[in-house]
Structure 1
């Protein structure tokens, strides 16, 4: 494994080894927090990635009691839905073999992802004409790359924090269709990949049916620990939301951005600083440091620890140090059709660095 990673210009991250082995949850939390502080110090000493951009792709309604688990009772909600804005992340960086690489994090196949059972049922409860209003799409992966003058064959890797709602066959190809990204490989945690091969009913409601069937196994790179892809970029295992959940860690603009769907807003990562009364009071009354995105609760204690880990690695947001620089892959944002919760601080779309265009 080590030799394979070396050939790929990657390295295992050992900083979090055994941090979750303590007998008590609070000991595991503090072990992970201490390791996250040291890991942040290391990545802050590394060069920035070459280019980092996030792009608004598509909106989707999402149950509020999932987004802020524990804060709201489903039956008592005045506004039962909030709106998530899903984003694409484009990162160009140098790997440890000094090769320039491009990874797409969370490249959503909007049309096919709608086959996710939960969202398919939700859409089925609405008139067909209403879908564009309830879940508007702003752009696509293909249009974004064309605008940036990045050719499909120039994408080296794709990755997702976990595979909820993700249909992979368009990007990677299958027995019945060519790959849109002919040279790309999927980087996925081994536990997440194994899970998709045999889901329980409580999981399958959130996964696209047959989303990996027929994908060439040589296009899959699995990892067991955390993984440094190159200078200033890593995929850190953050289990809980799913067993194989991992978070994107990127150093750029002299700060660290950490991305996943463990939480859906900066309010969720720093609830005691939230201006949303219910969230702030819940944090004050219970002592919680974070609020889980809990549509599936495969491991709530682990997810809680992972969110603390994420915000510790991220550190303070430059524009508002009361919150960490956690760039949620799907961020709760205002939308006229769902006028309920007003987020305290919205990170929004980001762009840093200069994209280097390479010949094919």
Structure 2
């Protein structure tokens, strides 16, 4: 069900209203699955976005016990650390009035993001000569835009599935300092925005201090629930990893793509198909149909429901059999961290042709 467009030009999606209200978790699971199936059919009837392309930004060392919660605790995964490859996605689409819009999903300012307490301590414990080897940078956000001919002035919105490690001041400006994306506004779930303003200690480990300080209020657009931005593009509230987590959903020529960091590998949404013995055996033994990325575990039940929502909404690929859910930071092999438990790698993806400046 889609409500009338909001004053912002977005449409509020009511599909999941009340789906998490039942006392019995299994009833919530059934309600979430039914709602996701209905929204999937409607979005498949929509035209695809004009252009969507992901770009590798940088690698991040990450504890395996966070990446594959449950599996590691059962000693079914051997590597102590894995590598997450963080990406940004450029999406161009038509809004409900037919105007071309450009959205950037997870544009990381990795230099400022190094102030995140967890990663700052990790960097201090690692010899400096190893920093570039352990956390190599492939490109910056401005370089990603330039490579597809899109000017910074064309970016209308930026959004993140959640605000872990993010400092937005370089993009949106702070105080008298202008931002590099002069026309962009942040789309953020209202609960995520509230969380950032009053974090518990276990949350604060993963948020960049002062990442929103001095950003003009008019550059931040908070939304509730789930919203559709335009033709073939939506942000769906998927709480659990954080309370205000949301997933990017966009229509391509061959189906739907969903992206978030609720999981970190294709295996996370299809553990029974995993070629990694530990992940597959864990799913067989427990009946788990998803494997959580659990560095904060603000709500494990909600995160489980959200990952089922994502995989139901995305559907599966006939080509490789895994869900069409693309981790916003993907567990990938690296010579320093061998044995990454990833059965299928998405890599950089591309659809359509960009509308250039």
Q: How many residues align?
A: 356
Residue 297 (1) aligns with residue 308 (2): no
Q: Within 2, Cα distance between the matches of 1:73 and 1:29?
A: 25
Per-residue deviation at 1:76? 8.5
CA distance in 2, matches of 1:77, 1:288: 16
CA distance in 2, matches of 1:279, 1:252: 30
- The equivalent of 1:82 in structure 2 is 82
Cross-structure match for 1:223: 223
| Offset at residue 75 of structure 1 (A) | 8.0
Once the two structures are superposed, the pairs formed by residues 1-360 of structure 1 within 5 Å of their partners are 6-73=6-73, 78-320=78-320, 322-358=321-357
The C-alpha deviation readout for 1:126-148, integer Å capped at 9, x for no partner, is 11111100000000101111222
CA shift digits 1:207-236 (9 cap, x unpaired):
000111111111111111100000000000
C-alpha contact 2:292 2:303 (8 A) present in aligned 1: yes
Tell whether the 8 Å contact from 1:65 to 1:74 is kept in structure 2 after alignment: no
The 8 Å contact of residues 52 and 351 in structure 2, kept in 1 or not, is answered as yes
- The Cα shift of 1:94 comes to 0.2
User: Post-superposition shift, 1:77?
Assistant: 6.0
Moved more, 260-269 or 148-157: 148-157
In structure 2, the residue corresponding to 1:79 is in which secondary structure? coil
1:325 CA displacement: 0.5
Whole-angstrom distance in 1 between the partners of 2:165 and 2:215? 17
Shift of 1:319: 2.4
Distance 1:308 1:15 in 2: 15
Give the secondary-structure state (helix, strand or coil) at the position aligned to 1:228. strand
CA distance in 1, matches of 2:137, 2:163: 20
Q: Contact conserved, 1:276 with 1:341, CA < 8 A, in 2? A: no
Q: Structure 1 76/272 Cα, relative in aligned 2: closer, same or farther at 3 Å? A: closer
SS in 2 for 1:158: strand
Structure 2 CA distance for aligned equivalents of residues 171 and 142 of structure 1: 10
Unaligned runs of 5+ in 1: none
Provide TM-score, normalisation by structure 1: 0.96
Structure 2: tracts of 5 or more residues without a match: none
The range that moved more, 123-132 or 298-307, is: 123-132
Q: TM-score, normalised by structure 2?
A: 0.97
SS in 1 for 2:327: coil
Against the structure 1 CA distance between its residues 87 and 117, is the aligned structure 2 distance closer, same or farther, given a 3 Å change threshold?
same
Q: Over aligned residues, Cα RMSD in angstroms? A: 1.6
CA displacement 1:261-292 (0-9 Å, x = unmatched): 00000101000110111100000000001000
**Matched residues in 1 for 2:78 and 2:44: separation?**
43
Cα offset, 1:176, TM superposition: 4.5
